[in-house]
Chains A and B, each alone.
Chain A
């Protein structure tokens, strides 16, 4: 077996450190484009500071943000899934990177609020497994998503009557949520939207859409593509701006994930991702080769 425990651990540890000391390249490109377009002077200086921080973090190999957010690992696999205990390997890589000063210990018991001290804890990191029949590789993407951003999130079970003409009710819900979130989710943010299923499905779709998709990609569903483009444009017309103190750049991307739902309901989850997209991953093949995802130059 090419992918033994030792090799996987060292690949995963290095990935965790890389991910928290920089941003994903799609995010970086969109931030640079935003700076070129931005007309508000304060917003321009904030965007410049953010870009400088990315550069400094990379150069000094320090965490880009003091908060590691909450980690979710997306794993997809095919019919052959022969690996050592990867849950344990991911947990160890995260606690070791914490002890090495790359991640602040931030995981607590939800009720007692007691900090575990090393980012270990029940269901940390969170795993999302996806079985893809016929896939010959195993894909793993880690996403550390900031938690201040979570404070702006909204979940609503809409109904047919609320949907409105041209889905105006749905669009309005997204815009109202963005307006109420203001500067809390560290704009210029990305917005993940999940529609369909029940509450749990919509929430997971929203996190997956904003965490695993390239923020510059085009939705293969033309209807969702139109909705993503329209919502992004409308959000940026709200002028909330970088850091939430005004400007042309409020959002970098809108990503929608969709599943069918029951005829009685329309679950909608709106999920903010702070601007520092800390995500990365790789695909590993049975022959021992590796393909990097969201790799930086």
Chain B
């Protein structure tokens, strides 16, 4: 298990080198996006509207921050991952935009795993419920888009340095820690109740 720092924009080559269990830190720029944010991207694409940021080689963080406004500038209070499975329906859209890295919690499903393998992407698990600690890796709020969606759902552009630790839990070879653990748990449950 290696310890790696990824710099944005992230290349396909860098992502393909990552293995399950590697510990990753991110330096550069990351975007937050969750339920309404993803829906808004889809709407922009459908209506051929220009997207507010360039997603090529980008890192999407499934998260909605706590922020405070000081003298017209947003300051981050804390930030941490939200449950990623809700964004599963957008796997292909995100891959087509050129996103390389997704940070979240709880993992994603088979459609995502297939696109990660096909396009060269990776899923990083952040420590859940560790919002103060994770915020330590955020240097500043660069900008915010689609704030009309509300603070949690807006697209926040964050400047980060050694943001993490994050653990590779779905890689670009089609492997998934979540799938493996679920299959193992299934076998254990079957063994616990053999008469069924």
Contact = CB atoms under 8 A, between A and B. Distances in A.
B66, B127, B151, B189, most chain A CB atoms within 10 A: B66
A94 interface: no
B188 A105 contact: no
A186 to B, nearest CB: 4
B64 A104 contact: yes
A57 B80 CA distance: 13
A80 interface: no
A49 B127 contact: yes
Contacts of A234: 192
B186 A117 contact: no
B89 interface: no
B166 to A, nearest CB: 11
A53 B188 contact: no
Contacts of B86: 151
Contacts of B129: 50, 53, 64-65, 146, 186, 274-276
Contacts of A190: none
B181 interface: yes
Contacts of A63: 66, 77-78, 131-132
B130 A241 contact: no
User: Size band of the B side of the interface?
Assistant: 35 or more
B185 A183 contact: no
B130, B150, B186, most chain A CB atoms within 10 A: B130
Contacts of A240: 181, 185
A57 B132 contact: yes
A238 interface: yes
Chain B residues touching A, majority SS? mixed
Contacts of A56: 132-133
A57 to B, nearest CB: 5
A104 B152 contact: yes
B63 interface: yes
User: Size band of the A side of the interface?
Assistant: 35 or more
A295 interface: no
Contact of B83 (A105, A151, A275): A151
Interface in B90-129: 105-107, 125, 127-129
A53 to B, nearest CB: 4
21 contacts: A53-B132, A63-B132, A64-B129, A65-B78, A66-B65, A66-B78, A114-B150, A115-B153, A117-B151, A146-B129, A148-B105, A148-B106, A151-B86, A171-B193, A175-B185, A182-B181, A182-B182, A234-B192, A237-B188, A238-B185, A276-B129
A58 B16 CA distance: 39
Contacts of A148: 82-83, 105-106, 128
Contact of B125 (A101, A146, A239, A245): A245
A65 B68 contact: no
A245 B169 contact: yes
Contacts of A92: none
Contacts of A46: 127
Nearest to B83: A148
A184 interface: yes
Contacts of B193: 168, 171-172
A104 B189 contact: no
A252 to B, nearest CB: 12
Contact of A66 (B36, B80, B177, B185): B80
Nearest to B194: A168
Nearest to A117: B150
A165 B78 CA distance: 49
B165 interface: yes
Contacts of A106: 64, 152
Nearest to B169: A245
Closest 8 CB pairs of A and B: A115-B150, A148-B83, A184-B106, A186-B128, A53-B130, A183-B106, A238-B185, A179-B185
B167 interface: yes
A98 to B, nearest CB: 9
B189 A179 contact: yes
B82 A67 contact: yes
B13 interface: no
B91 to A, nearest CB: 17
